[in-house]
Every structure is written in structure tokens, then in C-alpha cells.
Structure 1
């Protein structure tokens, strides 16, 4: 009952100094809202960006030959040169690597091809990529016209082609754009029938993506390579609930066995984790959160000092009241409890308002970058309330201790 009475006394004191208490609670609310709001916005933007990164390969990894040209010396010794991975080796891997992953084998036939359609032609900087029927699925590409390659076209090496958006725009200008499907183009000395045109997808840099490329069946690329060794890449796409490390852990020993790598020796192939994009995003968002915590801490520190000052003034103003309570039997512990409850109550009011404002502000900012759904940073919202209580305790302890130590006789004489 005494705790309840102290709580009521605290509320009465807050009402008696409503403007002063409201200003203090507002400062605390600003500090908490800056903390919760910024982190909510960061989480919302991160979720949106991660969704976009998945279309750029953030949920994939690639098996490929080691680039021997970039291998220097190690300890004064030339590092071992490994032969490139053969087409048959990748085929055996695909047969043995059974799971929920999606695999796509591809190879670049040319990086500087010239593509022709009638009198129109491109600059000699077009990439020709030999692909299978899963390649564009893992690239998250969408079709503007036509369709994807069929498994039969891939295995038979049919003379069909899919154009990237930039290539189609060059060969079929927008002003006279027609449906290119069914038309024939010339590339690498061969004629191809267009079966599909991709929508513009964008890229991380000028050397990536499908916009400035044409895609042909990988068997056709092998035929046109005239027996020369192509540099093959096998991209492995993960399911939504899959993690990259276990998948790589299963893929590595299978490829080592196919390549006949001896125990203790390094891999004769390379696994490139495309998830490095997502890892960079996590690092950046972590740094932003540290900045948000710093901003919130500075604001809350100012609020704590303001609250302590208000509580000191309150103790001075209520010195006579404290003397009366002590004369009636209130112990120093009860007096201290009353002022602590008052300080914590002010902070909790400010904390609740700050969490609510931060949640609203953060989601509004997140929506500006097309984040889907509401973001509920539960742990940070809970932390906001914990910080509010801590500020109340820290700011209110010294004034409460001062009030509890007042001499009742001197307090009753105070004017």
C-alpha cells in the first residue's frame, strides 16, 4: 500500500508541475524516438535492399576454375597451377550434387562480339553467353517478349538466342520497335533466331548483368568455340530457407572428388560467395546503428541532466512537505522511494511516447524506399523502455537521496 501511495504522490507532483514535467518527458521522448526511429528505418531499408540484392546474386555462389594468371609466389615458391574445370566435370558434379539448390552452367563465348540485324549493328563490345535453361531464373531476369530456352534447345545446341534489353534497343530502335521474336540476327559468324527479349535489369557495374549480352544455348557455344576450352561457371542458387555455408560444405567434397584433389591439398577450383553483397550491407547497417545509438545517447544524456535538475528543484520546493511526512513516521527509504518513482514515471511517459513516435517515423522513412510491411524492432523498442527506467533511476537517485537525508526539524522550519 505504501508503494501505491508513493506512486499516487508522484503522479500528484507531476500534475502540479505539469509544464515542467511535460518538457522533461518530451526531451526524453525525442531521445528514445531518435534511437528507435533511426533503427526502425535502417531495418526497413535493409529488408528492402536485401530483396533487391537477391536478384543480383546475393543468394547464390559460383564454382569456377582458379585464375592461374593472378596466382603469385608464396614463401618464395611459385604457387601450383591448376587446369581449368572441364565441361564433363561440371556435368558429373550436377549429377552428384542432389538437393534443393538450383544449378546453372554457363560460359562466355565472346566479350567483344558485333551483332547485326539487317542494316543495324552494335558496337563490338557485346558479350555472348552460352547458358542452360536455369541461367535466367538465377539472374532473376524478366521477359519483355518471348520466352526462355527449353532444355531440348540447350542440349541440342539449337541456333536460338535471347537478347538483353540494351542489345534489342540498338538493333530495334524504340521509334520503330517491333516484336523481335522470330527475327534472325547474325553473331559470331552464325545466324540465330530470336526467341526472347529481356527487360532492363541494371547491374552493379558495367561488366555485369544481362542487359548488354545475348544468350545462346551452351551446346551451341561449345560448337562455335571450335574445340577451344571455354571458361565455365556453375552458379548454385539457394532456396529461401537455405543457408550458404551448409550448401558449400556439401558441394566442396563432391567437386574435390571429381577433380581428384588429394587430402591435405588446396582446392583445385574456386568457390565465389556472391553473398558478400549482403555481408557488406550488414556491416554498413551495423555502423549506422552505432551512429543511431550515439545520437540517441547524447539526446538522452541531455534529458537526464534536465530531469535531475528538475528533481533537485522539486526537493527544494517540497522541503516542508518532506519534513511533515518524516514527522508523521515516513522513513528515509520511503521518502527516497517517492522521488525515485516520480522520476521513473516521468521517464516512462517520455519513453512510451518516444517508442511510439520512433516506430511511426521509422516506418514512414522505410516506406520511402519501398519497404514491404511494417517493421517492428521489438528488441530496440524494449531497450527504449529499459533506457527510460535507467534514466529515471540515475537522474532521480541523487535528488531522492538528498530528500531522504533532510532533517525533519529543519525541514518544518523551511520557508
Structure 2
């Protein structure tokens, strides 16, 4: 009994699939237009999923570039300050000596949770070798201690020594993007080569491992590192530079919040702030980026789901209407099938299968458009870490089937409830 019932269900399914295929083949244009809402909905949800996956991947990679144990003491916060920008612009500029004073405090603090403070000065210049050049390169001027806090590993060579830094030697460590731009055919033979930074000769003593780009946009590889005293001699004078930052590294076992509190206390001493005075500096870290990117991701997700929901709703209404029309057009056919013994469940399955088939067609077209869109994105933004996943494809198919079932159930149910005699008399 159970076997015969299962066989009957399989036969109903096979016959419904055959009839649905015939209807799609007979009404190609109508079916495609009917599925337009599902196409847009699936296309949108796949692109949103790809974009969110790319944001998450790029975000995690970017946080590793900033360093989980690193803090950046700077004049401005890593967030939108809105109309309060005047407050921040009036803050005193940073001085590189702050790092030395911070290190004295760290060394004299029992059980300090901090390891080291290192000054950095950022500025942009062009760099060239022979007939090749790279413009708008981000330079970091720093001390020899930077080798202990740099988040990028050395690919080759070494960092500059305290002697080279204190004597202002013309030595440089190049990021992988600069190496590729200046030495495309000899990337493994860069050490010892001479490059020009704003027409001043420098010797390459090291190269950095490839890091990638933040969210596929701002490259971390188009950079170079030179000694602080050298930069002061040739490029930026004085001790107070707008691009000055103090990078502080905490001990691995130290809690992030405790480390931040210790940095704030030490920096207030360095700046000479009295009790009750507001901080005139900012302690930035990777969690500030998390707080900034979180609302962006949420906004993208909400907007995407609204667009997807509206598109699928419109598609469902269209499929429901076309299924009602199909039931009306084929009322006599339904009466004939019922008269020769077709069960109500067979009629219900038939029209549900037709609605689901239209939605699956829309889902497949939506997937195809999503693949094409990703190919275009890969071409124009090759560094953006966008990728498809099996989960996204399963989601697209599930949405298509669910939309088909929900939109086709009422007209399919009404078709299954038609009495054979009344259906056969229908004109």
C-alpha cells in the first residue's frame, strides 16, 4: 500500500513536471516576463550576499593589517566627527618625542601591560627607478624600533639599524606594490638597487610581504619606510608634523580596555593635562574601524533586503495572476482530467509545479546575471574580495521555490476544487 502510494506521488510529480515544461515552452515570452520580479529579486539577493561576503573578508584582512594588539595615538579619531571638526583641528599637533616619553613611562610602570611606543610620520611622495616611477606613494618615517611593531612581515632584506636611523642614512624598505611598479621583471633582485625619492637617491635594503587593500580600495602595498632623521633632513622639517602618530603595542595577555586606559593615562602625563581637562588626543585601534563599518554593513543589508522583498513580492503577484489566467484558460482541460480519474492532489501539484517552474526559471536567470555582474566587478575592482558561495546559491534556489509555492498555491487550490461537470460546461 505504501509503495503504491509513493509510486502514485512520483507519477503525479513526473506528469506535472512534463506539463509545466510544455507550458513554459509554449509561452516562453509570457513566462520570462512573469518571472521578471523573481529575476530581479534573486539577482539583488545574490549581489548583496557577494558584497557582504566581500566586506567581511576585506574587513577581517584589514583588521589584521592594523594589528589586533596595536593602538594609534593621533590628533584625530578614526570616525566621522561631523560638526565637531573644529574642536579636533584646534588640538596641538603631535611631536615625535612623545614616543620616547611614553617608553620611559612604560619602563617605569610596574606590571605595565604595554610593550613599546614608536613614532611614525606619514607623507606622500613619488618614487622612481630608471624610466619607471610610482606616484602618490605613502611614506612612513620612523625609528629602528618600527621593525618590532610593523604588521607587515619582511619578504626580503632587513630593517634599518639604530645607527642608520640616527645618522640619517638614505635607506628604504619598499612595499610589494612599489616593487612591482619599479621592478616588474626583477622582483627577486631588488635589494641593493638605487631608487629616487623626490630626486634623492636611496638604497633599497628590504621589501615587505604583500598585504592587499582595505576593502579592495586603498592599497596597503603602495608604501615605503625610511628613517625618521632622513625624512626630517630631506622632506619634512621640525618636530611637529601633521602626519605624526605614536604607535603603541600592548602585551598579548593584556586586556584591550586596560591597555587603552593605561595609554590614556600615560599620554595625559606626556601632554601635561591637569585633572578635569579633556583629552586633546585620540587613541585609535581596529575596534574603531569595526564601529564605523558596522552601520554601513547594516544599512547595505537592510536596503538590499527591502529591494529583494519588493521585487519578490511583485514577482509573486505576477505569478499568481498568470496562474489564475492559466486556470481559467484550461478549465475544460481540468474538467476532462478530473472526469477520467485525476485526483484533486494531482491538479494541485500540476499548477503548483507550473508556478514553481516559472520561479526557478527566474532564479536561474537571476543567478546568471549575478555571475555576469561579479565578472564586471572583478574587472573594474580586482582587489575587492567578492566571492560566490554554495550558501548563496542554495538561498537563491530556496527563494525561487518558496515564491513559487506561495504565489501559486491559491490558484492551484482553486483549480483542484473545480467540479468536473461545471468545468466541462465552461466556455
TM-score normalised by L of structure 1: 0.59
SS of the residue aligned with 2:418? coil
**Given that residues 44 and 307 in structure 2 are in contact (C-alpha distance below 8 angstroms), is that contact kept between their aligned partners in structure 1?**
yes
Measured after TM superposition, the shift of residue 376 of structure 1 is 2.4
Aligned to 1:105: 118
**Given that residues 36 and 358 in structure 1 are in contact (C-alpha distance below 8 angstroms), is that contact kept between their aligned partners in structure 2?**
no
Indicate which of 11, 16, 25 corresponds to 2:17: 11
Aligned to 1:249: 257
Indicate which of 347, 360, 374 corresponds to 2:371: 360
Q: Provide the alpha-carbon RMSD of the alignment.
A: 5.7
Aligned to 1:384: 396
Measured after TM superposition, the shift of residue 408 of structure 1 is 2.3
SS of the residue aligned with 1:235? strand
- Aligned pairs for 1:8-407 (under 5 A) are 8-19=14-25, 22-23=28-29, 24=31, 27=36, 30-39=39-48, 41-43=50-52, 46=55, 50=59, 57=66, 60-63=70-73, 87-93=100-106, 105-106=118-119, 129-134=141-146, 138=150, 148-151=159-162, 153=164, 157-162=166-171, 215-216=227-228, 233-236=245-248, 248-255=256-263, 270-273=282-285, 276-277=288-289, 280-281=292-293, 283-327=295-339, 332=344, 335-351=347-363, 353-354=364-365, 356-368=367-379, 369-371=381-383, 375-407=387-419
Deviations 1:138-158 (A, max 9, x none): 3859999x963225655xx34
SS of the residue aligned with 1:249? helix
TM-score normalised by L of structure 2: 0.58
SS of the residue aligned with 2:256? helix
Say if 1:197 and 1:335 are closer, same or farther in 2 by CA, change over 3 A: closer
Deviations 1:211-245 (A, max 9, x none): 7x963269x99xxx99x999985425799xx9xxx
SS of the residue aligned with 2:228? strand
**Given that residues 99 and 117 in structure 2 are in contact (C-alpha distance below 8 angstroms), is that contact kept between their aligned partners in structure 1?**
no
**Given that residues 106 and 233 in structure 1 are in contact (C-alpha distance below 8 angstroms), is that contact kept between their aligned partners in structure 2?**
yes
Say if 1:402 and 1:90 are closer, same or farther in 2 by CA, change over 3 A: same
Matches of 2:50 and 2:283, distance apart in 1: 34
**Given that residues 164 and 197 in structure 1 are in contact (C-alpha distance below 8 angstroms), is that contact kept between their aligned partners in structure 2?**
yes
Say if 1:130 and 1:317 are closer, same or farther in 2 by CA, change over 3 A: closer
Say if 1:198 and 1:377 are closer, same or farther in 2 by CA, change over 3 A: closer
Measured after TM superposition, the shift of residue 316 of structure 1 is 1.9
SS of the residue aligned with 2:160? coil
Measured after TM superposition, the shift of residue 392 of structure 1 is 0.9
Aligned to 1:81: none
User: Could you list the runs of 5+ residues in structure 1 that have no partner in the other structure?
Assistant: 73-83, 112-126, 166-177, 186-191
SS of the residue aligned with 1:62? strand
Measured after TM superposition, the shift of residue 49 of structure 1 is 5.7
Higher mean displacement: 57-66 or 309-318:
57-66
User: Could you list the runs of 5+ residues in structure 2 that have no partner in the other structure?
Assistant: 78-85, 89-96, 124-138, 175-191
